[in-house]
A and B are shown apart, each in its own frame.
Chain A
């Protein structure tokens, strides 16, 4: 099993540009989570899906953020327009119903200049 795969690993973009982060969960997992890690807030839940359906997006900071899960093997997190304060490491994680733990991807380090 290749684990949770995130791309790109690093992204540097200019303020105002659109950024799309991608995630492939572990096959068979029915939960997918998007987290953001910052020094101030630690691991912050942005949104999560169950069976491709968004369950809770209350952590999405602003309307500039959106997430989709068109199928069980792919999800995107989009920021449009991006701002310097969006700079952080974004993690995707997946899990299986009945199991407590998540498997995290390696993260995408986003820098907005």
Chain B
């Protein structure tokens, strides 16, 4: 049962334009959300996060938006660069869980072309 869903397996964007990666969740107990980025032959690395008490968090070219009523979050990358081409995973923490588990989506492959 997938509690975190990334319904777009892939996204292709031209360099310089905006990339928008989407994530939906079903568990209203999720209190913290993270995005991880994964290059081929490497492990996922942390990119940006947001607490459920906020609706936006920005870090340079990366902004995450959270819409709690819709149980939806999105990652915006502006402007997109070829080096952003990677798999992006959305993850969430359940505040009902006292243990440190994250729930991951299946990932979206972003390709940024020149």
A45, A91, A100: the one within 8 Å of B44 (CB): A91
Interface size class of B (residues with CB under 8 A): 20 to 34
B44, B93, B100: the one within 8 Å of A104 (CB): B44
Q: Mark A76-107, 1 if CB is under 8 A from B, else 0.
A: 00000000000000010101010111111111
B34, B45, B101, B106: the one within 8 Å of A41 (CB): B106
> A104 contacts which chain B residues (CB < 8 A)?
36, 43-45
Counting CB contacts under 8 A, is B59 at the interface? no
B107 to chain A, nearest CB (A): 5
B51 to chain A, nearest CB (A): 9
Cβ–Cβ contact A106 & B42, under 8 A: yes
Counting CB contacts under 8 A, is A69 at the interface? no
Counting CB contacts under 8 A, is B49 at the interface? yes
Cβ–Cβ contact B43 & A43, under 8 A: no
Count of A-B contacts judged by CB separation below 8 Å: 57
> B51 — nearest CB in chain A belongs to which residue?
A100
Residues from 83 to 113 in B contacting A, C-beta threshold 8 Å? 89, 93, 99-102, 104-107
Cβ–Cβ contact B101 & A56, under 8 A: yes
Cβ–Cβ contact A106 & B43, under 8 A: yes
Counting CB contacts under 8 A, is B32 at the interface? yes
Instruction: Return the 7 tightest CB-CB contacts between A and B, nearest first.
Output: A42-B106, A104-B43, A43-B104, A31-B100, A101-B46, A100-B32, A104-B44
Chain B residues engaging chain A, CB cutoff 8 angstroms: 6, 32, 34, 36, 41-46, 49, 89, 93, 99-102, 104-107
> A4 — nearest CB in chain B belongs to which residue?
B43
Cβ–Cβ contact A95 & B44, under 8 A: no
A33, A42, A48, A109: the one within 8 Å of B107 (CB): A42
Cβ–Cβ contact B100 & A50, under 8 A: yes
Cβ–Cβ contact B101 & A42, under 8 A: no
Counting CB contacts under 8 A, is A12 at the interface? no
| A48-B101, A55-B99 known; A42+B43 contact, CB < 8 A | no
> A33 — nearest CB in chain B belongs to which residue?
B101
B32 to chain A, nearest CB (A): 5
> B93 — nearest CB in chain A belongs to which residue?
A100
| A42-B105, A50-B100, A55-B99 known; A106+B34 contact, CB < 8 A | no
